[in-house]
Structure 1
Amino acid sequence: MNMNWLKVIIAAVIEVFWVIGLKHAYDFWTWTGTVIAIIISFYLMIMAGKKLPVGTVYAVFVGLGTTGTTFADIVFFGEPFQMVKILLIAILLTGVIGLKLVTKDNIKEGAES
């Protein structure tokens, strides 16, 4: 795995925190943390998108973020566990992984390519 895909994965993990923050932030500091997480997450995704196919980067970012957010809701916030939800996330991840596998990592030297 190259460093650009690692940026996408880290951005998706941080996305889980800012999505949770959007729902649970209640004061200046929690909102500040949420905004900082948004900035870092999107910065990493944008930097990876400069070197990797942007459509695939976005699909992986959203797919991993959705999965992480759903699991965090179940584990930390008491959202009811539903097998159909897990099945749909598995289908989503299968599509994201498939998209990643069929996309060539044509690392570009600059954004002009």
Structure 2
Amino acid sequence: MHSNALDLEPHLFASDNPEEIAASLKRSATSSRRRKGTAFQSAMSMLNFYINRAGRNLPKERRATLERAKGKLRQAFGRPPSATMTGSSLIRDIGRFSGDVL
């Protein structure tokens, strides 16, 4: 049995550069022949999976980098920014995830 997961570059999510994370996810998703949805859906799904799997153990700075990578991923695929995750709402939500009130 084979997994339909993307083949990711080693240590991808350790990067502090959201552009690097987004570019790598895009490369992996567009080159994959095992994905079920679009390349964008696969890449965003993998990023969300990593964020959700880390849960409350993810430091707020790390979460902020990964949330910025979502925006960069949308840009890389020519998608509009998320209406719910722009500007101050992103900062407020990151504070909510970490337990801090901003």
TM-score by length of 2: 0.36
Select the structure with the greater relative contact order (CA < 8 A; seq sep ≥ 6). Answer: 1
Which of the two has higher C-alpha Rg? Answer: 1
> Would you tell me which structure has more helix in proportion to its own residues?
1
